[in-house]
Amino acid sequence: MAEFGIFLLRVTVGALMVFGHGWPKFQKVLAGDPVKFPDPLGLGGDLSFYLVVGAEFFCSILLILGLFTRLSLIPLAFTMCVAAFIQHSGDPFPKVELPLLYLGAYLTLLCTGAGSFRLQDKILSVRSNNRVIDFLFN
């Protein structure tokens, strides 16, 4: 039952991020709309936007599928840290709550991994003598 819980968390959080945040931003990329995005890290608004799109859309799809789950969680967790602790640092708690909820889910999944119900087991196997590589890819 715990494996199903991990699967449910992974798919729910991934789908909420894709459809609630990633897809609307990705549509702006596809439409070629001008980018008006904050620059909390000093990288420029355009680059910040494209990095967030990469995390919120593409990494969330990998999360849903259970492909490179831990690797995809790193940019997602980083994005939520920036949102909660930098971008919304002076905002009231209700503005910070959602990024913190996502961050909590991402850190939980980083600890548990994708669980048994993952596509990665069906299409590739990564085995290494290096514990860090095994942790990130399995």
Whether this prediction's pTM lies above 0.85 is answered by: yes
Domain range summary for the chain, segments of one domain joined by +: 2-137
Nearest to 79 by CA among 132, 32, 40: 40
Task: Give the pLDDT confidence of 35-92 residue by residue, as tens digits.
Answer: 889 898 899 989 999 999 999 999 999 999 999 999 999 999 999 999 999 999 999 9
Contact 73, 136 (CB under 8 A): no
At 76 the pLDDT is: 98
